[in-house]
Protein backbone atom coordinates (compact mmCIF):
# COMPACT_ATOMS: atom_id res chain seq x y z
CA UNK A 1 0.00 0.00 0.00
CA UNK A 2 1.30 3.42 -0.92
CA UNK A 3 -0.02 6.99 -1.09
CA UNK A 4 0.20 6.96 -4.87
CA UNK A 5 -1.71 3.70 -5.20
CA UNK A 6 -4.57 5.01 -3.08
CA UNK A 7 -4.63 8.33 -4.94
CA UNK A 8 -5.02 6.29 -8.14
CA UNK A 9 -8.04 4.50 -6.63
CA UNK A 10 -9.59 7.82 -5.68
CA UNK A 11 -8.90 9.23 -9.14
CA UNK A 12 -11.14 6.43 -10.43
CA UNK A 13 -13.74 7.47 -7.79
CA UNK A 14 -13.47 4.12 -6.04
CA UNK A 15 -14.37 4.06 -2.33
CA UNK A 16 -11.70 3.34 0.25
CA UNK A 17 -11.97 0.61 2.83
CA UNK A 18 -11.17 1.22 6.50
CA UNK A 19 -7.53 0.08 6.19
CA UNK A 20 -6.84 2.33 3.18
CA UNK A 21 -8.57 5.35 4.71
CA UNK A 22 -6.81 4.89 8.06
CA UNK A 23 -3.45 4.59 6.28
CA UNK A 24 -3.96 7.81 4.34
CA UNK A 25 -5.06 9.94 7.27
CA UNK A 26 -2.29 8.56 9.48
CA UNK A 27 0.28 9.40 6.79
CA UNK A 28 -1.21 12.89 6.52
CA UNK A 29 -1.13 13.60 10.25
CA UNK A 30 2.31 12.05 10.68
CA UNK A 31 3.58 14.65 8.19
CA UNK A 32 4.51 12.04 5.59
CA UNK A 33 2.57 13.59 2.70
CA UNK A 34 3.81 16.40 0.51
CA UNK A 35 1.53 19.39 0.07
CA UNK A 36 0.80 18.19 -3.48
CA UNK A 37 -0.25 14.76 -2.18
CA UNK A 38 -2.35 16.33 0.57
CA UNK A 39 -4.15 18.59 -1.88
CA UNK A 40 -4.72 15.72 -4.29
CA UNK A 41 -6.09 13.55 -1.47
CA UNK A 42 -8.56 16.16 -0.25
CA UNK A 43 -9.73 17.03 -3.75
CA UNK A 44 -10.08 13.38 -4.74
CA UNK A 45 -12.18 12.62 -1.66
CA UNK A 46 -14.49 15.51 -2.47
CA UNK A 47 -14.76 14.55 -6.14
CA UNK A 48 -15.56 10.95 -5.18
CA UNK A 49 -18.00 12.08 -2.52
CA UNK A 50 -16.86 11.80 1.10
CA UNK A 51 -18.48 8.96 3.05
CA UNK A 52 -18.51 7.90 6.70
CA UNK A 53 -15.55 5.55 6.15
CA UNK A 54 -13.44 8.53 5.08
CA UNK A 55 -14.66 10.84 7.83
CA UNK A 56 -14.36 8.22 10.58
CA UNK A 57 -10.78 7.49 9.51
CA UNK A 58 -9.99 11.21 9.70
CA UNK A 59 -11.53 11.40 13.16
CA UNK A 60 -9.64 8.35 14.41
CA UNK A 61 -6.35 9.79 13.18
CA UNK A 62 -7.17 13.24 14.56
CA UNK A 63 -8.03 11.87 17.99
CA UNK A 64 -4.94 9.63 18.03
CA UNK A 65 -2.72 12.64 17.31
CA UNK A 66 -4.55 15.03 19.66
CA UNK A 67 -3.25 16.29 22.99
CA UNK A 68 -4.97 14.24 25.70
CA UNK A 69 -6.85 15.48 28.78
CA UNK A 70 -5.77 13.50 31.89
CA UNK A 71 -8.62 11.32 33.10
CA UNK A 72 -10.77 11.88 30.01
CA UNK A 73 -10.53 9.00 27.57
CA UNK A 74 -14.19 8.29 26.86
CA UNK A 75 -14.50 5.70 29.63
CA UNK A 76 -15.70 7.83 32.56
CA UNK A 77 -18.66 6.70 34.66
CA UNK A 78 -20.35 10.13 34.69
CA UNK A 79 -21.43 11.86 31.46
CA UNK A 80 -19.32 14.45 29.67
CA UNK A 81 -21.17 16.60 27.15
CA UNK A 82 -20.25 18.95 24.30
CA UNK A 83 -22.47 21.37 22.38
CA UNK A 84 -20.16 22.07 19.43
CA UNK A 85 -21.82 22.32 16.01
CA UNK A 86 -20.30 22.52 12.55
CA UNK A 87 -20.70 26.29 12.24
CA UNK A 88 -20.54 27.85 8.82
CA UNK A 89 -24.28 28.40 8.54
CA UNK A 90 -23.69 32.07 7.67
CA UNK A 91 -26.53 33.26 9.92
CA UNK A 92 -24.55 35.69 12.16
CA UNK A 93 -26.51 34.47 15.16
CA UNK A 94 -25.57 34.94 18.81
CA UNK A 95 -23.38 32.41 20.67
CA UNK A 96 -26.17 30.01 21.49
CA UNK A 97 -24.20 26.80 22.02
CA UNK A 98 -21.73 28.67 24.24
CA UNK A 99 -24.56 29.93 26.44
CA UNK A 100 -26.04 26.43 26.60
CA UNK A 101 -22.71 24.97 27.68
CA UNK A 102 -22.38 27.48 30.53
CA UNK A 103 -25.92 26.81 31.78
CA UNK A 104 -25.20 23.07 31.74
CA UNK A 105 -22.04 23.56 33.79
CA UNK A 106 -23.94 25.79 36.20
CA UNK A 107 -26.43 22.94 36.69
CA UNK A 108 -23.59 20.59 37.64
CA UNK A 109 -23.00 18.73 34.37
CA UNK A 110 -19.45 18.22 33.10
CA UNK A 111 -19.01 20.21 29.89
CA UNK A 112 -15.92 19.93 27.71
CA UNK A 113 -16.55 22.67 25.13
CA UNK A 114 -14.52 22.18 21.99
CA UNK A 115 -14.26 25.16 19.65
CA UNK A 116 -12.34 27.83 17.83
CA UNK A 117 -12.30 31.50 16.98
CA UNK A 118 -14.74 32.91 14.43
CA UNK A 119 -14.22 31.64 10.90
CA UNK A 120 -17.49 32.63 9.25
CA UNK A 121 -19.49 34.08 12.17
CA UNK A 122 -19.38 37.43 13.96
CA UNK A 123 -17.96 35.90 17.13
CA UNK A 124 -16.75 32.33 17.64
CA UNK A 125 -17.04 30.41 20.90
CA UNK A 126 -13.40 31.11 21.69
CA UNK A 127 -13.85 34.85 21.08
CA UNK A 128 -16.95 34.97 23.30
CA UNK A 129 -15.50 32.98 26.19
CA UNK A 130 -12.26 34.95 26.10
CA UNK A 131 -14.29 38.18 26.37
CA UNK A 132 -16.06 36.74 29.42
CA UNK A 133 -12.72 36.08 31.09
CA UNK A 134 -12.59 32.32 30.65
CA UNK A 135 -9.03 31.15 29.83
CA UNK A 136 -8.35 29.69 26.40
CA UNK A 137 -4.70 28.75 26.65
CA UNK A 138 -4.85 26.04 29.31
CA UNK A 139 -2.59 23.04 29.64
CA UNK A 140 -4.36 19.67 29.55
CA UNK A 141 -3.80 19.41 33.31
CA UNK A 142 -5.38 22.83 33.88
CA UNK A 143 -8.33 21.85 31.71
CA UNK A 144 -8.84 18.69 33.78
CA UNK A 145 -8.71 20.79 36.97
CA UNK A 146 -11.26 23.20 35.51
CA UNK A 147 -13.59 20.37 34.63
CA UNK A 148 -13.35 19.09 38.21
CA UNK A 149 -13.73 22.52 39.88
CA UNK A 150 -16.12 24.37 37.57
CA UNK A 151 -17.67 21.50 35.55
CA UNK A 152 -16.37 23.39 32.52
CA UNK A 153 -13.32 23.75 30.34
CA UNK A 154 -12.89 25.25 26.91
CA UNK A 155 -10.69 23.12 24.68
CA UNK A 156 -9.25 25.53 22.13
CA UNK A 157 -8.99 23.40 19.01
CA UNK A 158 -5.64 24.69 17.64
CA UNK A 159 -3.93 23.91 20.97
CA UNK A 160 -5.14 20.30 21.00
CA UNK A 161 -4.59 19.30 17.39
CA UNK A 162 -0.94 20.05 16.51
CA UNK A 163 -0.98 17.56 13.61
CA UNK A 164 -3.35 19.84 11.73
CA UNK A 165 -0.35 22.03 10.89
CA UNK A 166 0.31 19.59 8.05
CA UNK A 167 -3.05 20.22 6.39
CA UNK A 168 -3.89 23.83 7.26
CA UNK A 169 -1.66 25.49 4.61
CA UNK A 170 -3.15 23.25 1.93
CA UNK A 171 -6.72 23.98 3.02
CA UNK A 172 -5.95 27.70 2.89
CA UNK A 173 -4.41 27.39 -0.58
CA UNK A 174 -7.34 25.35 -1.89
CA UNK A 175 -9.87 27.82 -0.53
CA UNK A 176 -12.79 25.39 -0.82
CA UNK A 177 -14.68 23.05 1.48
CA UNK A 178 -12.93 19.77 2.28
CA UNK A 179 -13.64 16.85 4.60
CA UNK A 180 -11.92 18.78 7.39
CA UNK A 181 -14.83 21.24 7.51
CA UNK A 182 -16.94 18.49 9.07
CA UNK A 183 -14.38 17.14 11.52
CA UNK A 184 -14.37 19.87 14.20
CA UNK A 185 -17.36 18.70 16.29
CA UNK A 186 -16.12 15.11 16.13
CA UNK A 187 -12.60 15.72 17.44
CA UNK A 188 -13.15 16.74 21.07
CA UNK A 189 -10.03 15.43 22.86
CA UNK A 190 -12.04 14.84 26.07
CA UNK A 191 -14.13 12.26 24.14
CA UNK A 192 -17.58 13.34 25.35
CA UNK A 193 -20.17 10.66 26.01
CA UNK A 194 -23.04 12.97 24.99
CA UNK A 195 -23.25 15.50 22.14
CA UNK A 196 -25.72 18.06 20.88
CA UNK A 197 -24.56 18.77 17.33
CA UNK A 198 -26.09 21.25 14.92
CA UNK A 199 -25.33 20.93 11.21
CA UNK A 200 -26.21 23.79 8.90
CA UNK A 201 -26.26 21.60 5.78
CA UNK A 202 -29.06 19.01 6.14
CA UNK A 203 -27.55 16.87 3.38
CA UNK A 204 -24.67 16.01 5.75
CA UNK A 205 -26.81 14.77 8.66
CA UNK A 206 -26.55 11.11 7.74
CA UNK A 207 -22.79 11.38 7.13
CA UNK A 208 -22.20 12.94 10.54
CA UNK A 209 -24.50 10.50 12.31
CA UNK A 210 -22.87 7.45 10.76
CA UNK A 211 -19.46 8.81 11.70
CA UNK A 212 -20.51 9.29 15.32
CA UNK A 213 -21.66 5.67 15.39
CA UNK A 214 -18.30 4.54 13.99
CA UNK A 215 -16.17 6.66 16.33
CA UNK A 216 -18.12 6.24 19.57
CA UNK A 217 -20.69 8.23 21.53
CA UNK A 218 -23.26 7.11 24.12
CA UNK A 219 -26.05 9.50 23.16
CA UNK A 220 -26.26 12.31 20.64
CA UNK A 221 -28.82 14.54 18.99
CA UNK A 222 -27.69 15.75 15.57
CA UNK A 223 -29.96 18.02 13.59
CA UNK A 224 -30.33 20.81 11.10
CA UNK A 225 -32.38 23.73 12.34
CA UNK A 226 -35.18 25.37 10.38
CA UNK A 227 -33.83 27.81 7.82
CA UNK A 228 -30.38 26.22 7.61
CA UNK A 229 -29.24 27.02 11.16
CA UNK A 230 -26.82 24.77 13.04
CA UNK A 231 -28.87 25.30 16.21
CA UNK A 232 -32.31 24.12 17.32
CA UNK A 233 -34.60 26.95 16.20
CA UNK A 234 -37.99 28.10 17.45
CA UNK A 235 -39.50 29.11 14.08
CA UNK A 236 -39.92 25.67 12.52
CA UNK A 237 -39.30 21.94 12.89
CA UNK A 238 -35.73 20.79 13.49
CA UNK A 239 -34.99 17.49 11.77
CA UNK A 240 -32.19 15.05 12.37
CA UNK A 241 -31.23 11.90 14.22
CA UNK A 242 -30.97 10.72 17.80
CA UNK A 243 -28.21 8.22 18.53
CA UNK A 244 -28.38 5.85 21.49
CA UNK A 245 -27.24 2.30 22.23
CA UNK A 246 -25.48 2.06 18.87
CA UNK A 247 -28.64 2.92 16.93
CA UNK A 248 -29.44 6.01 14.83
CA UNK A 249 -33.11 6.97 14.49
CA UNK A 250 -34.77 9.85 12.69
CA UNK A 251 -36.31 12.47 14.93
CA UNK A 252 -37.99 15.87 14.75
CA UNK A 253 -37.90 18.55 17.45
CA UNK A 254 -41.01 20.70 17.00
CA UNK A 255 -40.73 23.83 19.18
CA UNK A 256 -44.44 24.66 18.98
CA UNK A 257 -45.22 21.37 20.73
CA UNK A 258 -42.80 22.31 23.52
CA UNK A 259 -44.39 25.66 24.34
CA UNK A 260 -42.05 27.97 22.41
CA UNK A 261 -43.20 31.01 20.44
CA UNK A 262 -42.33 31.06 16.72
CA UNK A 263 -39.68 33.80 16.71
CA UNK A 264 -38.05 34.93 13.45
CA UNK A 265 -34.44 34.22 12.34
CA UNK A 266 -33.64 37.94 12.43
CA UNK A 267 -34.45 38.00 16.14
CA UNK A 268 -31.34 35.98 17.02
CA UNK A 269 -28.78 37.76 14.85
CA UNK A 270 -26.07 40.03 16.27
CA UNK A 271 -24.14 42.94 14.85
CA UNK A 272 -20.49 42.05 15.37
CA UNK A 273 -18.43 40.76 18.26
CA UNK A 274 -19.21 43.49 20.79
CA UNK A 275 -22.94 43.00 20.32
CA UNK A 276 -22.54 39.21 20.53
CA UNK A 277 -20.66 39.42 23.84
CA UNK A 278 -23.12 41.95 25.31
CA UNK A 279 -26.08 39.74 24.36
CA UNK A 280 -24.34 36.69 25.84
CA UNK A 281 -23.77 38.48 29.15
CA UNK A 282 -27.45 39.49 29.26
CA UNK A 283 -28.56 35.92 28.55
CA UNK A 284 -26.33 34.47 31.25
CA UNK A 285 -27.86 36.98 33.69
CA UNK A 286 -31.36 35.86 32.70
CA UNK A 287 -32.09 39.19 30.99
CA UNK A 288 -31.51 38.56 27.30
CA UNK A 289 -33.91 39.16 24.40
CA UNK A 290 -36.85 36.77 24.49
CA UNK A 291 -36.06 35.12 21.15
CA UNK A 292 -32.48 34.39 22.22
CA UNK A 293 -33.51 33.19 25.69
CA UNK A 294 -36.01 30.81 24.11
CA UNK A 295 -33.43 29.50 21.65
CA UNK A 296 -31.01 28.80 24.50
CA UNK A 297 -33.78 27.07 26.46
CA UNK A 298 -34.73 24.89 23.48
CA UNK A 299 -31.15 23.75 22.93
CA UNK A 300 -30.61 23.29 26.67
CA UNK A 301 -33.74 21.11 26.69
CA UNK A 302 -32.18 18.92 24.01
CA UNK A 303 -29.09 18.45 26.17
CA UNK A 304 -31.10 17.69 29.30
CA UNK A 305 -33.12 15.11 27.39
CA UNK A 306 -29.89 13.41 26.28
CA UNK A 307 -28.70 13.46 29.89
CA UNK A 308 -31.83 11.63 31.08
CA UNK A 309 -33.74 14.48 32.76
CA UNK A 310 -37.08 13.52 31.18
CA UNK A 311 -38.95 13.76 27.91
CA UNK A 312 -38.52 16.84 25.73
CA UNK A 313 -41.57 18.64 27.17
CA UNK A 314 -40.36 18.13 30.74
CA UNK A 315 -36.87 19.22 29.78
CA UNK A 316 -38.20 22.30 27.97
CA UNK A 317 -40.02 23.42 31.12
CA UNK A 318 -36.89 22.89 33.23
CA UNK A 319 -34.71 24.65 30.67
CA UNK A 320 -36.95 27.72 30.48
CA UNK A 321 -36.91 28.03 34.27
CA UNK A 322 -33.12 27.62 34.36
CA UNK A 323 -32.43 30.19 31.66
CA UNK A 324 -34.85 32.75 33.11
CA UNK A 325 -33.06 32.49 36.47
CA UNK A 326 -29.65 33.14 34.93
CA UNK A 327 -26.43 31.53 36.11
CA UNK A 328 -26.55 30.76 39.83
CA UNK A 329 -22.83 30.20 40.38
CA UNK A 330 -21.52 32.89 38.08
CA UNK A 331 -19.30 32.54 35.04
CA UNK A 332 -16.77 29.69 35.48
CA UNK A 333 -13.25 30.81 36.43
CA UNK A 334 -14.60 34.34 36.91
CA UNK A 335 -17.48 34.18 39.42
| Residue 196 to residue 209: CA distance in whole angstroms | 11
Nearest alpha-carbon partner for 313 in 296, 298, 295, 292: 298
Nearest alpha-carbon partner for 85 in 231, 217, 204, 201: 231
DSSP, res 106: H
Q: Are 191 and 205 in contact (CB under 8 A)?
A: no
Confidence at residue 121, expressed as pLDDT on a 0 to 100 scale: 61
% of the chain exceeding 70 in pLDDT:
97
What is the value of pTM for the model shown?
Answer: 0.94
**Whether the predicted pLDDT of 225 surpasses 60:** yes
Confidence at residue 250, expressed as pLDDT on a 0 to 100 scale: 97
Confidence at residue 75, expressed as pLDDT on a 0 to 100 scale: 84
Average of per-residue pLDDT across 161-180 = 91
Burial (Cβ within 10 Å: 0-12, 13-18, ≥19) of residue 323: buried
Q: For 64-77, how does the pLDDT look when each residue is reduced to its tens digit (9 = 90+)?
A: 999 999 999 888 88
Tell me the domains of the chain and their CATH numbers. 80-160+190-325 (3.40.1030.10)
| Residue 121 to residue 115: CA distance in whole angstroms | 13
Q: Which residues contact 227 (CB under 8 A, 6 or more apart)?
A: 91, 233, 235, 236, 265
Q: Are 73 and 185 in contact (CB under 8 A)?
A: no
| Residue 316 to residue 302: CA distance in whole angstroms | 8
For 114, 135, 165, the CA distances from 126, given in Å and listed in that order, are 9, 9, 19
Q: Which residues contact 252 (CB under 8 A, 6 or more apart)?
A: 237, 238, 239, 240
Confidence at residue 119, expressed as pLDDT on a 0 to 100 scale: 59
Q: Are 183 and 164 in contact (CB under 8 A)?
A: no
Confidence at residue 175, expressed as pLDDT on a 0 to 100 scale: 86
Confidence at residue 200, expressed as pLDDT on a 0 to 100 scale: 87
Q: For 84-131, how does the pLDDT look when each residue is reduced to its tens digit (9 = 90+)?
A: 888 666 667 899 999 999 999 999 999 999 988 855 566 788 999 999
Average of per-residue pLDDT across 208-231 = 93
**Whether the predicted pLDDT of 183 surpasses 60:** yes
Average of per-residue pLDDT across 285-308 = 98
Confidence at residue 137, expressed as pLDDT on a 0 to 100 scale: 86
Size of the chain, expressed as the number of residues it contains: 335
Confidence at residue 101, expressed as pLDDT on a 0 to 100 scale: 98
Confidence at residue 177, expressed as pLDDT on a 0 to 100 scale: 85
| Residue 199 to residue 284: CA distance in whole angstroms | 24
| Residue 179 to residue 200: CA distance in whole angstroms | 15
Residue with the bigger pLDDT between 288 and 87: it is 288
Q: For 139-150, how does the pLDDT look when each residue is reduced to its tens digit (9 = 90+)?
A: 999 999 999 999
Average pLDDT over the chain, rounded to whole? 94
Amino acid sequence: MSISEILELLAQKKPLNDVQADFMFTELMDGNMTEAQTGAFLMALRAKGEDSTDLAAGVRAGVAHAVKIPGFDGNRDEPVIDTCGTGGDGQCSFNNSTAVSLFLADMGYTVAKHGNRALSSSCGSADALEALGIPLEQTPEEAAEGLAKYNFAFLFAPAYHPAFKYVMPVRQQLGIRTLFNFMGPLLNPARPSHQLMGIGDPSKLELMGETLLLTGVDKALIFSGAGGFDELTTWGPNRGYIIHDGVMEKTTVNPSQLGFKPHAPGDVRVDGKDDAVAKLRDILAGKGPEAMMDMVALNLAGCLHLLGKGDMRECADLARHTVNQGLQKGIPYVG
